[in-house]
Amino acid sequence: MRNVLAILSTLLVLAASAARAETIVITVNGMVCAFCATGIEKSFKKQTAVAAIKVDLESKKVTAQTKPDVLLADDVVTKLITDAGYAVVDIVRQP
């Protein structure tokens, strides 16, 4: 019984420490055309943490999907957008 409890608690700790993939929704000001979208997509795709990237000009939203166990920090996201010439309005993370 003691062994079972030990195994169960180990499993719980492992599950809690494994970082899941995240969806990061970034609201961006200044994107107006397909070239803006492509430029942003390219700079995000260069990041090893990014699994997928989608730019929606109408809603001004850039949606980045991260890989599991890697972090794409807010300051990195902000730098990618500002270096491309646009302004970050908001960053929302979804599990």
33 belongs to the binding site for Cu ion (CB under 5 A): yes
Angle at 87 between CA 69 and CA 29, to 5 degrees: 105
CA distance 46 to 85: 17
Q: Which stretch binds Cu ion (CB under 5 A): 35-43, 65-73, 76-84, 85-93?
A: 35-43
CA distance 28 to 59: 9
Q: Which stretch binds Cu ion (CB under 5 A): 13-21, 29-37, 45-53, 62-70?
A: 29-37
Closest distance between Cu ion and the C-beta of residue 41, in Å? 12
Q: Based on CB atoms, which residue is closest to Cu ion, 3 or 35?
A: 35
Residue that the structure tokens 């803006």 belong to: 36
Residues making contact with Cu ion (CB under 5 A): 32-33, 35-36
